Structure formats: structure tokens, C-alpha cells
């Protein structure tokens, strides 16, 4: 079902904000014609839904690190892989075809910066707190926005080309 009206988008954004990933297909097939009366409200609603889902991801990510003792690179790899999978709905949202291009690019840029910040924080903490930081840093190196994008949008590289980011090759070098 294609969503085209402000009311339909509001409902779909509310469902997405509350954790419903099924509405992502509606975002891809939908469209919205911005006019002076709804443009600002629409952008605010999209931003709220995005922020809420990002907050849910952060809470899940923090809970994973607080509830599990990460003593080896395998445990860190499992935690990061689960976190990467949990980020896929956010990636799908910021690359949805139904969103206006300027809004999509803004959300995409924010999510890229967010993932880079999370990775930097993890890297800093690993270096400070662990004796075997080299192996953990190698595992952490795989947690980047490009690997999340590659997993989600391997068949649609459009957002990657718009931001002049080269696509990942899918190969990893393991020493």
C-alpha cells in the first residue's frame, strides 16, 4: 500500500517509531508532495521517528555491553554483529525512496556520523581498558557504517553514489 497523504505518513511514522519494521516497505513505495502547510510538520515527524528509533538502538547497544561480559574478541564480534543487525531498520529508513531527497541525505549523513562516533568511543574504551586491544580493535574495525549499508542495500547503491562514498567490496582481510 503506497502512502501519499500526510495522515498516512504520520500513522506510518508513529508505527515505525514504536518499533514496527513492517512499515519500511510502505516508506519505499510511498511519496509525499510537500506544500507550505505540511512541509515543516512532516520533517519534524520524520525527525522524531528517526530519533526515537536511534534511541531504541542506543539503549539496546548499551544493554548488550552491560549485561554481557565481553572478555574475548569472539564475544565482542557477536555483540557488534547483533548491534549491526539491529541498525538495519534505521538504515532502511534513512534510505527509503519515499522520503524527500534533502531529508534523506540529512538523515543519512547523521547516521553515518553517529556510527562513526560510536565506533570511535568503542575504540577509545578498548585501548584504555584492555591489554589485548589489538585483537579487539581488529574485530571493531568491521563495525562501520559501510558494512551496515552493504548488508542492507547491496542491490540498491543509490545513496552511496549520492554521497560519493565508494561501495564496499565485501572482502575482509584477516591476519
What does the alpha-carbon distance between residue 79 and residue 61 come to, in Å, rounded to a whole number?
8
* Residue range of the domain that includes 17: 6-150
Q: Please write the tens of the pLDDT for every residue from 77-127.
A: 788 888 888 889 999 999 999 999 999 999 999 998 998 888 888 777 766
Residue 106 lies in a domain: yes
Q: Please write the tens of the pLDDT for every residue from 116-157.
A: 888 888 777 766 666 556 666 666 666 665 556 655 554 443
Please state the domain count of the chain. 1
Residue 174 lies in a domain: no
Residue 168 lies in a domain: no
Note whether 159 and 103 are within 8 A (CB). no
Give the Å distances, CA to CA, from 120 to 30, 67, 78, 127, 161.
Answer: 36, 21, 18, 11, 25
Residue 83 lies in a domain: yes
Amino acid at each position: 500500500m503506497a502512502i501519499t497523504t500526510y495522515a498516512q505518513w504520520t500513522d506510518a511514522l508513529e508505527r515505525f517509531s514504536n518499533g514496527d519494521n513492517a512499515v519500511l516497505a510502505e516508506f519505499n513505495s510511498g511519496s509525499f508532495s510537500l506544500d507550505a502547510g505540511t512541509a515543516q510538520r512532516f520533517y519534524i515527524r520524520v525527525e522524531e521517528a528517526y530519533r526515537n528509533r536511534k534511541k531504541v538502538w542506543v539503549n539496546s547497544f548499551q544493554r548488550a555491553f552491560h549485561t554481557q561480559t565481553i572478555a574475548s574478541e569472539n564475544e565482542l564480534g557477536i555483540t557488534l554483529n547483533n548491534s549491526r543487525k539491529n541498525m538495519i531498520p534505521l538504515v532502511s529508513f534513512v534510505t527509503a525512496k519515499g522520503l524527500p531527497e534533502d531529508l534523506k541525505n540529512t538523515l543519512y549523513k547523521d547516521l553515518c556520523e553517529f556510527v562513526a562516533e560510536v565506533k570511535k568511543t568503542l575504540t577509545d574504551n578498548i585501548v584504555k581498558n584492555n591489554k589485548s586491544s589489538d585483537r579487539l580493535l581488529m574485530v571493531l574495525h568491521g563495525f562501520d557504517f559501510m558494512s551496515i549499508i552493504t548488508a542492507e542495500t547491496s542491490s540498491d547503491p543509490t545513496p552511496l553514489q549520492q554521497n560519493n562514498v565508494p561501495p564496499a567490496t565485501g572482502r575482509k582481510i584477516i591476519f
